Structure 1
Amino acid sequence: MSSGSSSNFSSGSRAQRRTFEYGRTHVVKPKGKHQATIVWLHGLGDNGSSWSQLLEMLPLPNIKWICPTAPTRPIALFGGFPSTAWFDVGDLSEDAPADLEGLDSSAAHVANLLSTEPAEIKLGVGGFSMGAAISLYSATCCVHGKYSNGDPYLVDISAAVGLSGWLPCAKDLQNKLRVSQEAVKRAQTMPLLLCHGKVDDVVIYKHGEKSAQALEASGFSNMTFKSYKGLGHYTIPEEMEDVCRWLSVNLGLEGTRS
């Protein structure tokens, strides 16, 4: 199942409103009892289809996967050449200048996709590389209760996963969350899983490690950071097995097939 959609997103002045045209959304229906829905986000230059095929093969029959495709936009990293991307980026690291409008737009797109799920279904977000960046950014917006532009974040995320990624706006996170005792409490209970290959030559391992440290320093005490020797900028069965185990535990999945 797939569909296209667009999102009007305003950041700051209404006169500067931009429309991001999202590509096709691929949905993998649960094979067993539907207990959780996870939006899974692809990396730079990819699309939702490739990940939906991998996720469909995982032994997680109670999860519905929603795999959207990012808008095609000019990317600073590619000298302005257009690519599918969740936000503009000049450098794949936690220190890079943040495209807040792009980050907020994609985080809002994820929240919109989750907002129509039944009330009893647990909601999650995950992703690879740039998709992991949006996954982690969405988790911080959920904990903070709002996007960077001040709009309220209205979805309750139960778990977030980031593979081979980084945390945008890492430097500002601690100060952002400290303003509210409620946000501090939410950060302590939000389950996060970060996985990174030691020999990643695209998003360097130290950026994943620094992002995990920034999350921990900001009060995300229910966080797991796993590293993999010899792993580059891709995923391997061992890593996906770890993701499956972690999701089963943190989402309380029954693991029975119908």
Structure 2
Amino acid sequence: MGQSSSTMSSPVIIPAAARHTATLIFLHGLGDTGHGWASAMAAIRPPYVKVICPTAESMSVTLNAGFVMPSWFDLISLDPNGPEDRAGIEKATNFVHGLIEEELKNGIEASRIAVGGFSQGGGLAIHAALQYPKSLAGIIGLSCWLPLHKDFPKEAKGNLTTRLFQAHGSADPVVPFHWGAETSALLKQFMENSEFKTYPGLSHSSGEQEMEDVKKFLQEVLPDN
């Protein structure tokens, strides 16, 4: 039986420190929560940017021997050509779209909303952006891959010209570096403003230089207005 949305924790929200004119939605990786990234994102966002870090529902994850943990969708295989949880990925994508729509209702335009994430969350952020018809400000994908990559570019609905900052550590033992590089190569075939940055020696985590680069990216795609 599927879990109801009532099992979803409320997102961690860091209000803007100045007049709220832009929003960043950032999605955690497998087994983490919104708290895992909220303070890091709050430290690098411009003061007029509100940060939303939701927490995924807890579910049984096939790849982790069925253990229950926060996960945006089930992970079935480590093979890029292996089976994927299409229904779960689509449900999670709709959830992200719902967060974007809430910000639109609050008077923030799509062009002032950035979406991003780490690992599974980064992949979901890119997927959700490509499935969203309105143009967003920017997309951030850290240490990630693109779910349902065979759907693209055919199934893309928008954000093909939106700036994407994709980053990956060269020593990542969890999401292999070549996954990130292959994802970038695919995205660059149809996304005009896609950047892929490598961090030598970085494992499956973020580093100081990477966070500086994300900070710079946010300032560029969400300038003061």
TM-score surpassing 0.5? yes
Tell me which amino acid in the other structure corresponds to 2:59: R
Which residues of structure 2 form unaligned runs of 5+?
Answer: none
Matched length: 220
Q: Could you tell me how far apart the structure 2 residues matched to 1:47 and 1:54 are?
A: 13
Q: Could you tell me how far apart the structure 2 residues matched to 1:207 and 1:123 are?
A: 27
Structure 2 counterpart SS, 1:66:
strand
Q: Which has the higher strand share?
A: 1
Please name the residue that 2:91 is paired with.
105
Tell me which amino acid in the other structure corresponds to 1:239: E
CA contact 1:94–1:169 (8 Å) conserved in 2: no
- Distance verdict in 2 for CA 1:108–1:59, change over 3 Å: closer
Please name the residue that 1:29 is paired with.
15
RMSD: 2.0
Post-superposition Cα deviations, 1:8-48, rounded to whole Å, max 9, x if no partner, equal xxxxxxxx976343123110011123221111111000001
Task: For 1:80-95, list aligned pairs within 5 A.
Answer: 80-92=66-78, 94-95=80-81
Q: Could you tell me how far apart the structure 2 residues matched to 1:59 and 1:37 are?
A: 9
CA contact 1:24–1:48 (8 Å) conserved in 2: no
Counterpart of 1:167 (choices 125, 146, 159) is 146
Please name the residue that 1:223 is paired with.
194
Task: Give the C-alpha shift of residue 92 in structure 1.
Answer: 4.6
Q: Could you tell me how far apart the structure 1 residues matched to 2:193 and 2:145 are?
A: 17
Report the more deviating stretch, 129-138 or 55-64.
Answer: 55-64
CA contact 1:192–1:223 (8 Å) conserved in 2: yes
CA contact 1:133–1:167 (8 Å) conserved in 2: yes
Please name the residue that 2:206 is paired with.
235
Which residues of structure 1 form unaligned runs of 5+?
Answer: 1-15, 146-154, 178-182
Q: Could you tell me how far apart the structure 2 residues matched to 1:29 and 1:210 are?
A: 36
CA contact 2:45–2:218 (8 Å) conserved in 1: no
% of aligned pairs identical? Answer: 31
**2:155 is aligned with 1:176:** yes
**2:107 is aligned with 1:119:** yes
**2:183 is aligned with 1:195:** no
Tell me which amino acid in the other structure corresponds to 2:91: S
Q: Could you tell me how far apart the structure 1 residues matched to 2:12 and 2:113 are?
A: 17
Q: Could you tell me how far apart the structure 1 residues matched to 2:138 and 2:99 are?
A: 16
- The structure that has the greater radius of gyration is 1
Q: Could you tell me how far apart the structure 2 residues matched to 1:18 and 1:113 are?
A: 19
- Distance verdict in 2 for CA 1:196–1:86, change over 3 Å: same
CA contact 2:23–2:108 (8 Å) conserved in 1: no
CA contact 1:96–1:168 (8 Å) conserved in 2: no
Counterpart of 2:215 (choices 244, 248, 256) is 244
Structure 2 counterpart SS, 1:40:
strand
The TM-score, its normalising length taken from structure 2, stands at: 0.90
- Distance verdict in 2 for CA 1:96–1:29, change over 3 Å: farther
Tell me which amino acid in the other structure corresponds to 1:52: A
The TM-score, its normalising length taken from structure 1, stands at: 0.79
